[in-house]
Structure 1
Amino acid sequence: MGKLDGKIAIVTGATSGIGRRTVEIFVQEGAKVVATGRREALGRTLEQSLGKDRCLFVTADATLESDVKAVIDACLAKWGRLDCLFNNAGGPAPVGGIETVPVEGFDAAMATLVRSVMLGMKHAAPVMMRQGSGSIINNGSVAGRRAGYSTSMIYGAAKAAVNHLTVCAAMQLGEKNVRVNSISPGGIATGIFAKALGLAPDKADAYAEAMKASMAKNQPIPRAGVPDDIAQAAVFLASDDSTFINGHDLVVDGGLVGGRMWTPHQEGVKAMRQAFGVDEP
């Protein structure tokens, strides 16, 4: 038996990276999934690889209310219910100091990162409230919890908004037995970093593998995060194993935001002892 047997899910931003892998793992765990995204060609390959009886791809822009409503309607028309929504769609935001932020870039980032989450919850909530059950999962970030963990301060601010909006919605929807939680990834090797630096989306995804070596040094767990790490966290929050978890931000970062790393700290202490002429204990 799979952990998601009988579940019906929607995953946004499903054409690559975390979203695509989440769709694949949800299906492996027994769910039927509506996958959405703007890149239709990539979405169709996902649908074909998993089979239309288990994965339906709907081309949609998660920032447009009409598209979001159409995705919900397509899910209900195909499978009659909605058990899980993973608001995963995202993208880069303007980089540089606050004095350089272009207003149009700020607005576009907020639409991609925050408005999309609001719209997903807005249109999924009535369905789940009628059912008396459901799990909404929003993709946050450690950049929303600590400054300096993104190339963009606007990205960090947007993800902080996602994390708090998650809690606000959880307080309302929990009364109807609908859970709302977020996942805050740390350094996950996907194309989003290359996109943030200006590389085109169709080229950025190819750089994910190359980033793993440098990202392995950023946290106590000595490897880069991978899409499976987030997908498996989403499986847990979508499953019946987490029915008493609501309004929670699940940090999946290998310990990145836990504090100072042990070995560099101890090496610093040793250097200070040597500078002070103090013997090792």
Structure 2
Amino acid sequence: MARLTGKVAVITGGAGGIGRAAARIFTGEGAEALLVDVNEGALQQAVQDTGSSQASYVTADITQPESVRNAIDTAVERYGGVDILLANAGVEGMVETIPDYPVEAFDQVMAVNVRGVWLCLKYVIPVMRNRGGGSIVITSSVAGIRGTFGMSPYNTSKHAVIGMMRTAALECAADGIRVNTVNPAPIETRMMRSIEEMRSSRTDGEATVEQIKETNAARLPMQRYGDPEEVARMMLFLASDESSFCTGGVYMVDGGSSAGWV
């Protein structure tokens, strides 16, 4: 039997690289999946890419309570409940040092990456309690356990959701709801390309985007970026009953990069 047969998954950031990969893998494992994002055209394509009639979408701004509530309500109306939440939506922000970082840009990153995750938990936990349990997987990052020059809001946000996850894991354990984070290293996604482009622009042309990427990859013990599918397969494990005794954990998908950190 497929690992997610009979399960309903809500995937925020469903139009992005990791979200799309998760939608393909989850529906392939039998889940019904509601993809959530702000870009309707990209969502339509992401649903089509699953090749499954078990995927659908709803647009939502996860920084807004009513928008998040509507997304969760949509999952309940279409599929009868929610068993899995992938709180995967996120933005990278700018590459700039703290004194020069615009306050409004900081606020936007925190609104999506922290407030948005918290709102998803706020509205999905009661639904999961009604189902008798569930699994929440939050996308953090290697940036959630170390510093990164020039990305203070992003790093702050990815540290924050680990603390949020641990609190939620304690609050929800008795209800059979498991909560964990997945922490990727650089992955072949639009977000990573955007970061490379911003870092290249800060060198005034001395380092090309491809050179920035090569440098990043060389820092990883496995000497390459990860694929979205590699992250999604860790999410699959945490979403499935195979991880039934796993909650409150930080799961690295980082090519070994954290192995050498103290």
TM-score by length of structure 2 reads 0.89
Task: Give yes or no for contact 2:23–2:50 (8 Å, CA) kept in 1.
Answer: no
- Structure 2: distance between partners of 1:4 and 1:211: 39
- Cα 1:221–1:115, aligned 2, differ >3 Å: closer, same or farther? same
1:160 equivalenced with 2:159 (yes/no) = yes
Segment of structure 1 superposing worse, 98-107 or 160-169: 98-107
Which residue in 2 is equivalent to 1:123?
Answer: 123
1:243 equivalenced with 2:228 (yes/no) = no
Query: What is the aligned length?
Result: 251
Alpha-carbon offset, residue 113 of structure 1: 0.5
- Structure 2: distance between partners of 1:56 and 1:210: 38
- Structure 1: distance between partners of 2:258 and 2:48: 39
Task: Give yes or no for contact 2:188–2:228 (8 Å, CA) kept in 1.
Answer: yes
Q: Which amino acid aligns with 1:156?
A: N
1:210-249 equivalence runs, <5 A: 213-249=214-250
Q: Secondary structure at the match of 2:26?
A: helix
Larger radius of gyration: 1
Which residue in 1 is equivalent to 2:202?
Answer: none
Q: Which amino acid aligns with 2:36?
A: T
1:58 equivalenced with 2:58 (yes/no) = yes
Task: Give yes or no for contact 1:8–1:33 (8 Å, CA) kept in 2.
Answer: yes
Which residue in 2 is equivalent to 1:40?
Answer: 40
Q: Which amino acid aligns with 2:158?
A: K
Q: Which amino acid aligns with 2:172?
A: L
Q: Which amino acid aligns with 2:259?
A: G
Which residue in 1 is equivalent to 2:110?
Answer: 110
Alpha-carbon offset, residue 216 of structure 1: 3.4
Two-structure CA RMSD over aligned residues (Å): 2.1
Q: Secondary structure at the match of 1:258?
A: helix
Q: Which amino acid aligns with 1:241?
A: E
Q: Which amino acid aligns with 1:237?
A: L
Gap runs ≥5 in structure 1: 200-207, 261-281
- Structure 1: distance between partners of 2:211 and 2:56: 31
Which residue in 2 is equivalent to 1:252?
Answer: 253
Q: Report percent identity of matched pairs.
A: 37
Alpha-carbon offset, residue 42 of structure 1: 1.3
Task: Give yes or no for contact 1:213–1:224 (8 Å, CA) kept in 2.
Answer: no
Q: Secondary structure at the match of 2:258?
A: coil
- Structure 2: distance between partners of 1:240 and 1:212: 36
1:1-281 equivalence runs, <5 A: 1-50=1-50, 53-148=53-148, 151-196=150-195, 197=197, 213-259=214-260
Task: Give yes or no for contact 1:15–1:39 (8 Å, CA) kept in 2.
Answer: yes
Segment of structure 1 superposing worse, 51-60 or 233-242: 51-60
Q: Which amino acid aligns with 2:81?
A: R
- Structure 2: distance between partners of 1:71 and 1:211: 38
- Structure 2: distance between partners of 1:154 and 1:212: 22
Which residue in 2 is equivalent to 1:277?
Answer: none
Alpha-carbon offset, residue 81 of structure 1: 1.4
Q: Secondary structure at the match of 1:216?
A: helix
Alpha-carbon offset, residue 49 of structure 1: 3.9
Q: Which amino acid aligns with 1:249?
A: V
- Structure 2: distance between partners of 1:16 and 1:226: 13
Segment of structure 1 superposing worse, 118-127 or 99-108: 99-108
Alpha-carbon offset, residue 180 of structure 1: 0.6
TM-score by length of structure 1 reads 0.84
Alpha-carbon offset, residue 60 of structure 1: 1.1
- Cα 1:93–1:104, aligned 2, differ >3 Å: closer, same or farther? same
Gap runs ≥5 in structure 2: 200-208
Moved over 2 A (4+): 46-53, 193-199, 208-216
Task: Give yes or no for contact 1:146–1:257 (8 Å, CA) kept in 2.
Answer: no
Q: Secondary structure at the match of 2:259?
A: coil
Alpha-carbon offset, residue 240 of structure 1: 0.2
Q: Which amino acid aligns with 1:125?
A: I
